[in-house]
Structure formats: C-alpha cells, structure tokens
A and B are shown apart, each in its own frame.
Chain A
Amino acid sequence: MLQARNLSFYRNSTAVISSLSFDITPGEIVAVLGPNGAGKTTLLHLLSGSEKPAQGEVLLNGTLLPNFHSSELACLRSVVSQKVHLSLPYTVLDIVLLGRQPHNRGRETEQDRAIARLALGNVQAAHLADRRYTELSGGEQQRVHVARALAQIAHNDSSVSRVLLLDEPTAHLDPGQSYRLMDLLRSLLSNTLGMMIVLHDVNLAARYADRIILLSHGRQAGIGTPREVLTPASVSALYGVETAVLHTPDGVPMIVPLQSFVAREEKGGETPSAALLRSGTESLQSDAEHYRPKAGSR
C-alpha cells in the first residue's frame, strides 16, 4: 500500500534520512523507533507528503505522492500529530467534521455528520460530540484526533487501501491512556487500513506493532517483527544504554535498562555530578547500605 523507496532527505546539507526503503501493508501496524533526532518525524513528513525527499520516492497504492491532487491524497492518508493546540472553542464534532473537508469542501451533508459520529463511536468518544475540545483531557483530545483522521479517510469504496500516520500519539498520555489508545488503534486495523506509528516507548511498540523499524541517524538499523528486531544488542546500540530483553508470559519482548547510574559509579568512573550528589547524601548512604543486604537475603 505505502511504499518508501530509497528515501533520502538533507537539512543544511546533513543527511537526516539516508536511503530508507520499506513497505506498509494494510492490516498491520509498523512502529518507528529511534532516539531523539534520529529522523523519525522527518520520515513521517516524507511519507505524508509535507516534505519532498531529496532522493527516492513514496508510492501510495502504486501512485507517486506528487502525482496526487492534494485533496485526493487527503482522502487516502491522514495524520495524527503529537499534540494539537487549539485556542478557539470548537466542539468535538466540529473538529471531527474538519476531517471531512477534503470530501465536501466545507459543505457538510448528513452523511458527513453520520461518518463523523461513527468515527467518534469507533474511538469510544461518541458521548463527547457536543463538548468543547478545549475542556477535554489529553487522552480524550488524542482520541478525537484519531476520530478526525478516521473520518478523513472514510470512504464508500472499500477496495481502496488507506493509511494512517501517527507521530508519537502517546507522548502526552499516562501509561493507562497510552495502552488504551494503542488497543484502540489495533482494533481499528482492517484489510484496507494500515498504520505507521512513531513511538518513543519501546515496550509499547513491542506489544502493539506487527513490525518495527529501528532508525538511527536517519539510517535503517533494523526492520522486522518485535521479536526479531528487539535484541539486547540492537536496543543498546540504538539508545546508547545497556539493556536486557525479558519476555512477558505471553511472549512479548520487554526491554529494561541494565546499567544504572549507581552501577557506573561503583565501576569507578565517577562523574562530577555524581560526586556532587554524593557529598550531599552521605547520611543517606548508610541507610542504603543497610538496606542492600536485607534485599539480597530475600
């Protein structure tokens, strides 16, 4: 459905994205993981068509992105951003109806309203339709934007595949709301809808993604199922932190950091800030030492 072929993108003559190639197929969630500045958001912009790649091309259902008319493209792919700030008191239904603009050019029909309500129902937010957007919680707001994105790509013709791109949709959400949102996204997948999600939370990606792309300095550092890609070596290299990979009872990889701050100090390589902190917490130290053997003996 969505194909990236040999994508490269430069900013001030440094490569932000270097020769990336991958596919997103309907019915799957592809997560993009990588440290800050790895080029995740740029990649999303390239896939959505807001930035043009310096080299390479993006195809949606076999057509090059620049060959789409902008409203035609808007009917096939929609984007959910990290956080949308609104200063005017639009209602939730108004926001979701904005997603219908590429279809109706501002003249809403009863069908558009029905689709908007259906989309709100899909994200379990039907009861919020008449509330002011500005009064909602962060999780509710994010659900409203997912509903808007769904309404945008809702279509009579069910044979055409659509793609939903999400840029760190859980960035401002607590763990509970993050899991609920990801559950919701999974439930929305169909044989004509695929998703690409940029994520910061490795464990969220491990649990909810079908495939994961690891992005490091704009290069592809790995692609495959969570079990294939999330190895201690790859994750440690990606984030520069030593990690171990455990497995949940249902077999999902779970990444935990290994080398903590204390561990590094015990190895002898004391950092200046560690020395500063230690000098202020001398009295606490004895308590900690007192506690350690007890914990070990258990």
Chain B
Amino acid sequence: MAQAAQFSLSVAYLRTRAAFFIRVLLFPALFVVLLWSLTVGAFDLSIGQVAGILCSKIGIALPWEFTMRDATVVLALRLPRVLLALAVGASLGVAGTALQGLFRNPLVDPSLVGVSDGAALGAITIIVCGSGLLFIPPGLMPYAMPVAAFAGGLLATVISSALATYQRRTQVSLLLLAGIAVKAVAAAFSGFLVFIASDAQLRSITFWTLGSVSGATWETVMITLPLALLPACALLRYGTTLNALALGENEAHHLGINIQATKVAVVVLTAIVVGAGVAACGMIGFVGLIVPHLLRLVIGPDNRNLLPGSMALGGILLILADAVARTIVSPAELPIGIVTASLGGPMFLWLLVRQRKENIV
C-alpha cells in the first residue's frame, strides 16, 4: 500500500514535470520553425543564410554568404509576414484556450462571441462603402479597413456581453446565445453589402474573408504585434483562475475567486486579440479551436501549462500554414484561411472520433 502510494506520487510528479517540459520545449521549437519558414518560398535559402541575414542586421557577421536580393526578400517580404503569422497564431491559440476555459467547453472557438463576424462587417463596410459613401480618401483606405474591422469586432463583443449581463452578473450560456444572434445580424448586414458590391469589391471581400498574411508590411506588424500579443500575454495570468472555473462558477467563487472580473477580463482580452488578428489578416479559422485541443491531448487540461503552450503551438501552426500557403501553388499564393480550414477540419474530425472512443469530451 505504501509502495503503491509512493509509485502513484512519482507518476503524478513525472506527469507535471513532463507537461512543464513540453510547454517550455515548444518555444525553442517555435523559434526553429520561424527560422525555417524564412528559408522557404519562391526561391530557397539555407538556414545559415537566413541566420546570416538576420545577424548582419544587428551587426554580427556570420560565415554564410548571401546576396542583397536574398536580404531584401527575407527582411522586407518574408520576415514581416512570418512575424504576423506568429503574432496572430500565438494570440489566437491563447484566446481559444482561455475561452474554452471560461465556457467550460472544449468546442468553443474565439469567434464565438461574435468578434470575427463583427470585424468582418467592419471590413466589408469599408470595402464596399469606404470610398463612395463614407468619403474616405484612397490614401487612408489601408488604415481604415483594419481600424473598422477592429472596431466592429469589439462592438459585437460589447453588444453580446451587454445582452448576457443582468444585475452585473454575466451569464456564460446567455453570452453564447447572444454571440450567435449578434453573429447572425452581422452576417445579414455583410450579406447585404456583398449583394450590392461591385465585382472588384466582391473579389477583395472574398479574398479578405479567406484570410491572408500576404499583405504584411512592417507597419502592419508593428501595429498588430503589440495589439495581439500584449492581451495574449495578459491572458496567460488566468491559468489558475480558469482551472478553478472548470469546477463551475459557484465552486470557483467558494475558492475565493472574483468570477465577474474574470469573465469581463477574458472576454475583453480575447475580443482585442481576435479583433487585431482579423483586422490584420482577415478570417483565420480553426487555430483557436484546434490548438487547445491538440495540446490538451498531450499535456492534460491544466490551464497553467495550456495557455503558454497554446501560445507557442498557435504560432507554430500558423507559421507552418503560411509556409504551405505560399509554396504549394507557387508562384501563386493560397489564402491561409483555406490552409488552416483544410488542415484543421479533418484534424478536428479525427479528434472527435478519437475522443468519442475515450469519452472524454
């Protein structure tokens, strides 16, 4: 009996250690994937060359040779889009984990509270009415779209949260339903705008809806990186609270946790994250759904490991998806949303079938 207790102690101990190890290991992996993805594209470079280019920028000379053209391609074209993919993927991963924790449901996606549809409505409004009805000068159009998308996303979240809050208490199940309703209304408006749009506008709407990081410039990166990653980092602090919330709101309250503050913080932070992501590169589905799922299978449901882990894994997945998107039909490019959906959909089905057997959903 004493021996059995000793043994089970070591099993639990090893498992916590392993989860911690994997979570830490994911970050170097993210770095390697980031470097590797800089080497692929219309023409190939070696990892050494890429490292040489990056180091020359900060004044360190490495022995690998590269041309000026190589340097321009890496620094001006590939690095911004890879960084954008990293920021958006990482923050979507964290947002997905946090929302799944908040809703106590592993099938929740960051788009659930209506953020992405609100953001889409904002962007589509600018595409269709921007230069005509709203008199936005052409020079401001590249800024107006992300701003409108971001505002639309936040507005949708504010509406659905306000609908779900009664007597200063937010009901999570009501938030889910309100999100669905807000989504439907936003989609109806978007549909109407699509209906009146010209052919050229339709094409840019379609492309935007499918999602892409190809438009990345250093400017977008500089705006999106802090806007997506700072709230994502703030979400990392909620691991302990979300673990307690897994027991239910009453139980978490009895453990001394301020439930209402947690709900508001998590919803607002994820809305900013998703809004920033959608504003920068359109609708990218499945990352926020798949990442927490995959990770939970490996390191268990502890949100303290899951949140940082899903940050790294989200970045890795979206960088890889972008690498696929720009090489598979080279020299043309696939929208990244198609890649994430076509990989994420089947993967999700596989997970569901697997979990149906184990009965752990």
Bind each other:
yes
Contact call A78/B300, Cβ cutoff below 8 A: no
Contact B244 A129 (CB under 8 A): no
A53 within 8 A of partner (CB): no
Q: Determine if A89 and B360 form an interchain contact, defined as CB atoms under 8 angstroms apart.
A: yes
Measured between beta carbons, the chain B residues less than 8 angstroms from A87 are: 104-106, 361
A91→B15 CA distance, assembly (Å): 11
A79 within 8 A of B: yes
Which residues of B lie under 8 Å from residue A152 when comparing CB positions?
255
Stretch among B6-14, B86-94, B227-235, B276-284 lining the A interface: B6-14
Q: Which residues of A contact B4 (CB under 8 A)?
A: 127
Complex Cα spacing A72 to B244, Å: 16
- Closest residue of chain B to A90, judged by CB? B301
B253 and A50 contact, CB distance less than 8 A: yes
Q: Does B251 contact A (CB under 8 A)?
A: yes
CB distance from A32 to the nearest CB of B (A): 17
Contacts of A94 in B (CB 8 A): 243, 300-302
CA distance A88 to B104 in the complex (A): 8
| A81 x B256 contact (CB < 8 A) | no
Query: Complex Cα distance A50/B359, Å?
Result: 33
Q: Judging by beta carbons under 8 Å apart, are A84 and B247 in contact?
A: yes
Q: Does B240 contact A (CB under 8 A)?
A: yes
What sequence of 0s and 1s flags, for each residue 246-278 of chain B, a beta carbon within 8 Å of any chain A beta carbon? 111011011111100000000000000000000
Task: Compute how far the CA of A212 lies from the CA of B340 in the bound complex, rounded to whole angstroms.
Answer: 61
Cβ distance B100 to chain A, nearest Cβ, rounded Å:
8
Contact (Cβ within 8 A) B256 A74: yes
CA–CA, A40 and B246, complex, Å: 25
Residues of B within 8 A of A85 (CB): 248
A134 at the A/B interface (Cβ < 8 Å)? Answer: yes
Known interface pairs A89-B301, A90-B246; A101-B256 also in contact (CB < 8 Å)? yes
State which residues 183-242 of A face B: CB under 8 Å. Answer: none
B contact residues around A134 at 8 Å (CB) = 359-360
Query: Does A106 interact with chain B (Cβ within 8 Å)?
Result: yes
Separation in Å of the A214 CB from the closest CB of chain B? 25
Give the 4 A-B CB pairs with smallest separation, nearest first.
A106-B240, A74-B256, A71-B256, A88-B301
Binding site for B on A (CB under 8 A): 48, 50, 69-75, 77-79, 81, 84-91, 93-95, 98-99, 101-102, 105-106, 113, 117, 126-127, 129-130, 132, 134, 152
